[in-house]
Structures are given as structure tokens and as C-alpha cells.
Structure 1
Amino acid sequence: MHKKALIITYYWPPAGGPGVQRWLKFVKYLPDYNIQPIVYCPKNPSYPIVDESLTKELSKDIVVLKQPIKEPYKLARLFSKKAASTISSGVIPKEKKQSVIEKVMLFVRGNFFIPDARKNWVKPSVDFLTDYIQKENIETIITTGPPHSLHLIGLQLKQKLDVKWIADFRDPWTTIGYHKKLKLTKASQLKHQDLELKVLNSADQLIVTSENTKREFEFKTNQPIAVITNGYDTTISEKPKKDSKFTIAHIGSLLSERNPKHLWEALSELINENEAFKADFELNLIGVVSDDVLQEIYSHNLKDYTNVVGYVSHDDAIKAQMQSQVLLLIEIDSEDTKAIIPGKLFEYMISNTPILAIGPKDSDVERIIKSTNTGAYFFYEANNTLKSQILTYFNAYKENTLVTQPIGLKPYSRKELTKTLSELI
């Protein structure tokens, strides 16, 4: 007999972006391990990104429960559609470039909606799920955040029903980069920290996506913590041909602080110094790109070599990864981002395309790329080795030998990761 697991998530198809894919894939494979997943999600959400292509992965046999949610971002769009969309998608402008409306929205978001803008969904969800869990004899509930308000649903259900509760943290809570930009008062900061501690110390099992987050949480709780990263699950049967040009592509959001100036300098210098590079080079930015990053790129005379594609479906993103000659992975250079592992990393790793990564020292991304032999990792300090690596990739491209030789990728497959999850359930 299948064991039932109730998964409480905000992001679910047709939501786009990496937040939805983690649990979409877990739900896909859990039945293979004798676990029946039941998904609970909003009926009328306000998703910043929509990707209808993900709906085709939904099995007709999966039970999906939906309840209405009141979305403050819908109201915020009445005042400023652009500001509301920007903030809800996570692309927060630098403070000196924030409009008055953006500053007010960030203050309201940080101090009146704790832990986040979906807090008003907690009570109606607890009321609905209390009856459902008892009626269906569900023994295990799983909450996944962000939004971390969903963990408060788990906390209250645990207190009322004493079910087994697994809290999945796709990102940290109080130490994630954007948390510091919310213009929090001291009282609000303390409230976030208090709620975080209650969740960490009440859940029966914690799941995190990186070793750095596990180490952070171990200072705050004695509850068991498992690391289950995101992973890959390729659905494209026929690989597309590689681009004819030397394309370096970044796929995903490029926030204001994901802006390695020495990379743009290196590319500009190679164009000026190498005629062959100048003739073949192309920079493709696929996804949301902040104005700050674009201005920096253009200031290095790279505008004529840059294609800003915008958001594409997940299927098209996979194809772009396989078609490109080199894949860029850029993370903010801070202590807080050492624990962030972009979901696209694992798809990058199986694309047969070398990764050129830039981020903080001692990050989980650095460890994974080096251990799997899937690319090269650099820090934000300017040095000639980054430029040399790009030139090495370019020379291999000219010789038609630009391929990767990855090792140890199987543990990152979605099915293997779901097996680990099933053992915790």
C-alpha cells in the first residue's frame, strides 16, 4: 500500500522558474518508491513567471488540492505594475536607483508581511488541511519554501495534529541576500529570526539544498538535517546542434549584484586583441537581466555582441544550454550566497557544454563543479586566468574539440534524489 505524503507548495505549474521544478520532479518520481504524493497549492496565485510547458509533466493520477489565496502583489500592481513585478520576481534594484514607490513597497513587504507576502494564506490553509489530513489519514506533511510562510502552515498543523513534518528549505531564510534589502526594522528582524527558530526546532526533519546551509542551520537547531540538492532530468531526446558562433550564454536571472566587471573587461580585451574571437564571439543573455548589468556590459563596448533574449520556456532553456559553446553561471560575491546552488547548474552539468562560473570562495557551486569536472570556477578578483580560460575554450571551439568529460553525475539525477527523499518520508 502506498504511503501518503502531503506536499504544501506555493509554486506549481504553470509557474515558471527553478522554484517549481524541484517538487514537480519529486512528485513525478515518488510513486516509484511506493509513496503517493498529494499536492496542495494556491488556486489563484500571482506568479512572476509562467511556463505552460511544465504542465505536460503532470501525471493525471496526482491529486492536486487548490485553495484561494489573497495576493498583495495584485493590489501593489495598481500603484506600480513595474515595481510590483520587479520585486515579486526577486530583481531588487540597488538602493540608490530605487524609486520612491519601490522603497515604500520594500518597506511594506519587509515589515508588514512577515515572513512574506503570502502570510495571509496560512490560516485558511491550516483550517482546510486539518480536516483533509484527518479524513485521508495522512501521516507525513512536507512544506517547501520560500515563501517561508508555508512553513508556518506546517508548524501549526504539527501543533494541532502531531503529524510527521518535513520542512524543505530551497533557500535559507534570514541569511539570504535579498532579506537585507527589505528595509527591516529591528523588531521585524527579531520576528523573522524567532519564526525561523520555531520552524527549525519544531519540524521532525529538515531538508536543505546545500552543505553550507546545513552548517548554518546546525548552529540553530539539533533537529536532523539532510542535504538533497536540486538535480537534472533531461526530457529532450534529440540533442540540437551546437551554435556555429562562439556563444557564451547565461540562462536565468542576472540580478544587479551578479555583475562581474572583470568578466566583461576580459571579453572586451579579447575582442580588441583577437580578430578571430571578434568575428565569432556572441554573448546570449536568456532570462531577466537587470539594467545595472546591461549598462556595465554595454560600457565595455559589448552591445554589438550581446543578445538579450528574455525569459524562455524550460524546454527552450534546455535546448539553449546544449546549443551554446560555453555556459555562464554567475552568483553574487557574498558570504550569504555560498550556500546558493542555482537549479540550472545540474542541467548545465549534463549539457555537454563547459561551465564558466564566477562566485564567492568556498561555495557549494565551486565544490560541485570541481568534483564533477564540468567547468572552471573563478572569484570576483580580477586576474588573467579568467581571460586565459575563455581563450582556451575559444581555441578548442575553433578546433572542434570543445566538450566536457564529466564524472560522478548520477547522484544528481532527479530519480536518485527522490530515492533519498523517499527514505526520509
Structure 2
Amino acid sequence: MSFAAEVNFDGLIGPSHNYGGLSDGNLASAKNAGDVSNPREAARQGLEKMRLLVRAGLVQGVLPPLPRPNFDLLVQAGFGGSDRDILAAAAREAPQLLKVAYSASAMWTANAATVSPSADTADGRLHLTPANLSTMLHRSLEHPDTTATLVSVFSGDEHFAVHSALPMHSDFADEGAANHVRLCAEHGARGVELFVYGREAGESTAGFPARQTRLASEAVARAHGLEASRSVFARQSRRAIEAGAFHNDVVCVGARDTLFFHEAAFEDTAGALEALKRASSGLFELKPVMVPEADVPLGDAIRSYLFNSQLLQFPDEDRLVLVAPIEAQETASTRRFCEGMVAGNGPIGRVEFVDVRQSMRNGGGPACLRLRVVMTETELGACHQGVLMDEETIDALQAVVARTYRDRLSPADLADPAFADECRIAREELLRVLELEELA
């Protein structure tokens, strides 16, 4: 077993962060639709969360915002002329489409891709499959630019395999790592990969959409060369989806040998746990931490995003640390559960509450904002170094945000042609800091 570290690649929140209410099944997105957002504060909050992990001694990466507005979408929708003409016509004739073109949802990099570390794959390379995000229009536009970003960061066929996104069809609906958990004894050891899906291919469901299919999960596992005996496919409970858990990471998170989940996370909890225990046999002893409905009602779990937290092994700490949104501290049931959990002798020994309110108001907690990538020392050295964070780089990004981002943005402001120029300039300056100018 070689040394490996879990690197969190956070999405740098873009200058067009707004509350467009585009995401069906996301209760926070719907509740705050049309409100005024603060892109500057949103990016600052995200960067300070990164700083917390850097100061803790963890390896922290960042992925830049995607180009916005997406003029290709607007041109394909029939708008023509100059950029100013396109924006004016879209604002007048299709304001909902303009919000789609400006969506900053790529900041939730848990949906960027599914990642399998080299310890798990048949060819010994790190595999990444960008998610097609085909269920929601605004997210379905992301994967071409996300793929280009991942290719720039993880270049070189010797160590990395960046796959194409799955076919853009509902049977292959794929939401990336938000429905995927890797469990292991140590990050560099062989592990078990848990894929959670909401429906079978061709199956229709009433109510909120089930965004991940089993077919998509199986296709990713196949492409990554995973052992069938170390891959588990479990169905997310319909009740959780209808309650607002549009991704499984709203009700479940795992790290190392620990799975932290709500009682209502899976359709068949006993079956899922038994399958994980079989798959982990000979590798590690699974430590399930199930939160009962009686202690934390499902509605509280979803409103507080207790499970949309980062579960991390901090250096020199024997037990795992849960980096949770401050809303979980402000919700009585989740606060009580966290207090009791850390007072016990289970695998989670501390909870660190962080302020990512701007993201939370759009339905994304600390776990949404990061893509976990387990990397060996060699792979770390082979990836693009400009996206690996230290405090100096975080300070430089904060300076760009303070200089170029607005502190007030409403959906109506998207019609301002000057705003499109602001977004382009801000992104170009961020890319220069990260030495990724080829993505401009």
C-alpha cells in the first residue's frame, strides 16, 4: 500500500451566484428563488472553508468557475446578434433561459464527476468520469467545460484517466460523486465503492425526480475497472427524495471505514449494510453510524444539511471530524445529536461548524462544494500544481473576489450587459492566479 491523501477539490463560487430557483426537488433553491444573493460573500465563505482545511494540515484543491453566461446555449436557443443583443432579447423573451445561462451551480463540485482512486482500479490509474447531470437543464450544460477543467488539472495518461460523460439520455442520468461514497481502511488501501441510485433505467417516478439511475452507476464502475465484489449498488429511499434529498449526500456521508447516514437514506437499509459488509470483508470492518428518525426527523436532517458535511481525518486526531454547516448547530435536533455523538466513543469525535450560508440558500452544504480525490504522492506531483491551495493562493483569490465580484445580485440584474463583462473579467483573473489561462 502506498501513501495517499484525500484531496478536496472545492468549487470556487462564481460571480454569477444567484437564486434562480432552477432545481426541482431542491427545497432551499425553491424557497429562496428570486432573492438577492451576494456572490462576493459566497465566494469568501467558500474560500474560508478551504482555509480551515489548509490550516488543519489537509491537502486542499480548487476548481475554477465555468464561463458564464453560457452564450452557446442562448445562440442554440435562437438568439443572435452581438452579445448585448443576445442578452437583451433573452431577458425580454426568455428570462428563465437567461437564468439558466448564468447558473453558477458548477460550484457544487460533488456533482462534477465520480472518482475512483488508483488503489481500486484495474489499470492502477486514477479515474474520473464527469457527470452528465442530464436531469436539470441548467446543470446539463456543465459537463463539456467541467471535462476541459479536469483534463487540464489531471493531465497525463500515465497516471490519470478522464473519461467522457455518459450519454445524454434519462436512462444514463448521472449526478457524480453526490451519489457515491468510497470506504477503506486507509486512503492508499483498496476500498469499497458505494453507488446510490434513485431509479432503474426506463423507470418513471411521480413527484420529485430521481436524478441517478442504476445503469449510469454501473457504467461508471465498469469504465473505472472496479472489482465487482468491491462495488455496491444501493437504492436511495423514495421517501428521502420526496422529502428533498435530491442527492444521496443530503442524507449520507462516508469516510475511511465509517458510514454516517439517516435511517431513511436507503430503500433497504439492512440490505445495503449487509452488502457493504460483504464487500469490505478482508479489507476493513465497516463502522455504520445510523441517525434514527426519532432523534433527528428527516425534515430536520434535510433543512439543516447535517449529512451534507465533510467527514475528514484530521492529522493527529484519532477520530473523524465532521465539518458541518452552521445550520446544523442552529437546528435543535441535529445539535443535540452531534453533542451526544462526540461525547460517545464512536468513530466521529468532533464537529466543526462552518458558515456557507450563501451556498446553503441554494441547496448546497460543505459536502456539495467539494470533489474528493484520493491521490498518491506521485499523482499529487503529476497534477496541475496551481490548483493546490496554500494560504497565499487563498489570499490572492480573495483579493480577486473582493475586486471583481458584486455584493448584491438579483435575477433581474442578469439582463445588465455590463454584468456579462464583469463575469468574464473576474474569471480571467481567477484563472491567472491558478495558472489555468488556457481555460479562458
Tell me which of the two structures has the higher relative contact order, counting C-alpha pairs closer than 8 angstroms and 6 or more residues apart: 2
TM-score for the superposition, normalised by structure 1: 0.30
- Rg larger for: 1
Greater helix share, structure number:
1
